[in-house]
Each structure stands twice: as C-alpha cells, then as structure tokens.
Amino acid sequence: MIAPRRPRLRAALILSAAGFLLLPCIILGNLHYTPGDDALRHVAKAMTGRPLTDVLIMNDGYPNDHNPGWHALLGLAHKLFGLGSVPLLYFSILLLYGLFIFAPALFARDRVAWFVATGATLLTSLICYRTMQGRPLLVSCTATLIIFLIWSERREIGRVNLAFITAFLIAASVWIHGAWYLFALIPLSYLLAGAAADAGAIALCWIVGTLLGALLTGHSIQFLVQALRMAADCARVPESQLQTEFKSDMETYLIALPICGLLLVRVTGKRPLRHLLRSPEFMLLLTCFVLGLRNKRFWSDWGCLGLLLLIYREVHCIMEQDRKMRVLSVCLFAGLLFCVPRRFEPAGNGSISKYVDFGAKSLAPWCPAPGGTVYSCSQDFFYTHFFRFPEAKWKYVLGYEPCTMTEENLKVLRAIQETREAREAIVPWQQAMRPGDILVLSGERYNPSWEFPSLVWTNAGGYWVGAIPGQASRP
C-alpha cells in the first residue's frame, strides 16, 4: 500500500483523518444525536440474548435472526466491557462509522483523495445519515467499497488473493448484515461495464462467500431463504404503505445532479466519456439510480457507493495534474465536514427520550403483563420500548418489519395505515385484547376514550395507552 511521503501530503492525510474523527464527536457529543430505529433493537437484542420469537408475535416464515453476526458481536462487547444500553448504542454507531470511513482508505492508493471524496459524498448524498444510524448495513457497504478498490487498484496481489479477500468480505457481511442477494449488484456492474471475466470471478466469490456466511449462522439454507423471502415480501408492499426511507420522492430525482456534475468534470477535463461507460463504478451508480426510482434505498444504500468511488477517481486525477489542488481540496473538505452536522437534529425530541415509562407506579394499570400483547401500529414504539425494556416478558404485534407479522395482524395494520388510524380499522385489535394487553395509539390524536369506552386510557410518552379496567401489572 502506498502512503504519502511528502510532509505536505502527510499533513493533509492527518488533517483529513482528524476531521473524520471529529465529526462523530460533534454529532453525538454536541448534538446528542441518537438514531431512532434498527440500532435500538440491535442493542436490545444483543443485551437480552432472547430470540425474537420471544419478543414479537411473528408468522412461521421468519424463525431465524436476520443479523446473527452483528448481535453476537454486540453481545460480546456487552459482556467484555460491561456496557449498558446507551453506551452500547454509541459503541455500535462509532464502530460502524469508523469501519465505513477508515477501512476502505487502507486499500485506496491515494488516501487524501479518498478522504476528500468521502467528505464530499457525505454532504451531497443520502448516505450521510447512514453513517450515524448504527445499522450493520454499513458492513456490507464497506465490503462493497473494498471489493471495488482491490479489483481496480490492487491487482498486483494476484487473482487468488483477490478472490480470497472478496469471498471473506462477503461471508462476513452475510453473517453480520444478512442481505446476501444485494451483492449481486457487484458482478452485474462489472458485466455491464464489459468486464465479463472479472464479473464471473466476483460472482463465484459471491456464491462461495454467501454459503460460508450462511454456514456461520447455523441455519444455512433456511437463513438464505428467509432473507430472500423478506426482500420479496417487502417488494410487494404498495408504495403508499412503504416507510418514508423506501419511497421515491423529489430527492430521488435530484440524484441526477451529481451524476451530471461528474460528466461535466469529465468533459472539461478533456477525458473521453466512453471510458466512463466502461467503469463498473459508474454502472453501479446508474443501475441503482434506475432501481432507486422504485425504491429509494437502492440509491441511498448502494448507488451512493458508486458515486463515492467515481468522485474518488476524479479527485485523484485532478490532484495528479496539480499537486497544489491537494491543499485546496483538503480545505474544501474541512469546510464540507463542518456542514455535515447541520443535517442532524439534536436529540431533545429524540426517540430514546420519548417513551412510556412502564416502570413508574402511576402507570402500573397500563403496564403489559408477562405474556401480554402490545397492540401498536408504530414501529418507533417497538424500537424505543424494546430498547428501554429488553427483558420485559410481553410481546409486540409489530416489530422491525411488517412482513414478519401474522396474517391477521398484518391485515389490521394495513387497514389502519390506509385509514390513518380510523376507529373501524382498530376495532379488531381492541376486540382481541385480553387482561394484561394494551392498545397504543398516536398521542397526536384526540382522546380515544369515547371511541373505545371499554378501555381506560392515559397519555404518556407521546402515546395514548389503553388497557382493560382493573389491570395492574409490573414489568
């Protein structure tokens, strides 16, 4: 690996790395930002060690943990360092952030250009948020970046070593993240770029790595089928019922702007555009842009990686032509870096601070009993309360994915979503309640006591919580 030798370049590298180390300190320390979704349930799952079937009312198609490797690693950190829920949450965010920012830089020949490109991509794309969400998705993103880098810049290590590293990265990602099918985008990108031999070799590594990663879970075939089934079930959901991060919007079409910028840089630099069409990175970007018109996460999770790699190539070419551009680029990078925290909101109204304190004596009549059921159409409610009460013995009808729900509960959820929590849609859950169960509705609606007079209601933690009269349980 080539490291800068000139003192100026070494200083630029140190400044870039220091800036990326400072960024999470600003966002997590000063803004007290906390993610509000999957990171919370990953921490809770790692701390309790219980199978999700003990936490959620699930259908029979999802018996296995979707992220076994990540939960194992977090559980190990919890046991070794004695981290509580909040410290473990920040540990997971920082670990994944550091992996995504610094691991690919070890394989890039021009690390200053890589850090500059990463800083620019964080500002101009949706992946900025991904770096601070504590999702194991970043493991797969990091693996993808490294695979593209080694197959383009590290061929001197030999094809055997390239294949070994590629298979290892995919195996680790499958075990930790679970979405094995998404790695098909890599050989597809090479195939579309006309590199059929490399596409075939990477496809073989993908197959071997996927099987190895699945073997680590202990439920190899079942694990692979479950992941594919989850993707298929999510793909069948109408766009009107998708979560915001999946929906295509105007921001998706604005993705074309950085692509046009790259083409403009190519034209003004008098570099042929046909070379761009032979670039696997550009094909990844273009493929994910098209898929992103149907599901925005194809762009925000994978297309941005192609954008990052292309920006790196262009920044490297500019710096090679004029060494003074390195200093200018680092100054620009520093300015961009301090703009990134503005995209994160302080956590004064954050997810982990908005919850129903079931441990309070005043809320005892509304605390689910052991073996009780929490009827809620809010995934945020599940994330926050599983995080706050990981050892609680009640179950949630809705967890991290609606497709894991039982058929009856999923029909009720879809009806609630379509009617915006109309009383008629909620009635089936209210009628299914037993002593020890609770019904949770949005705190923004008017008092539901006249709609459901058979329940006693309280407004706590931003939610309306209804219970059968006479219930008095403790978590």
Per-residue pLDDT reduced to its tens digit, 276-300: 778 899 999 889 888 887 788 888 8
Which residues on adjacent β-strands are paired with residue 448?
none
Q: Is the pLDDT of residue 343 over 90?
A: no
Give whole-number Cα distances, 38 to 133, 240, 358, 369, 391, in Å: 8, 22, 21, 25, 18
Lowest-pLDDT choice from 125-129, 234-238, 407-411, 466-470: 125-129
DSSP-assigned states of every residue in 38-74 = HHHHHHHHHHH---GGGTB-B-TT--S-S-HHHHHHH
Mean pLDDT of 414-439: 93
DSSP letter string, 243-269? -GGGS--HHHHTTHHHHHHHHHHHHHT
Q: Does the pLDDT at position 399 exceed 90?
A: yes
In contact, 231 and 179? CB cutoff 8 Å: yes
Dihedral, CA atoms, 419, 466, 402, 33, nearest 10 degrees?
100
Answer yes or no: is pLDDT of 4 > 50: no
Give the contacts of 403 (CB within 8 A, at least 6 positions apart): 62, 230, 233, 234, 237, 410
Can you name the residues that pair with 466 across neighbouring β-strands?
439, 457
In 3-state terms, what secondary structure has residue 174? helix
Query: What crossing angle do the helices spanning 38-48 and 68-81 adopt, rounded to 10°?
Result: 60
pLDDT value, residue 25: 72
Residue-wise pLDDT tens digits, 183-240? 999 999 999 999 999 999 999 999 999 999 999 999 989 999 999 999 888 877 776 6
Which CA distances in Å does 381 have to 37, 42, 236, 401, 431? Answer: 10, 15, 24, 13, 21
The average confidence (pLDDT) of the chain is 84
351 — pLDDT class (breaks 50, 70, 90): low
pLDDT score at 341: 61
Q: Is the Cα torsion angle 369, 65, 48, 30 positive or negative in sign?
A: negative
DSSP-derived secondary structure letter, 354? S
Q: Across residues 67-78, what is the average pLDDT?
A: 96
**Strand, coil or helix: 433:** coil
Q: pTM to 2 decimals?
A: 0.89
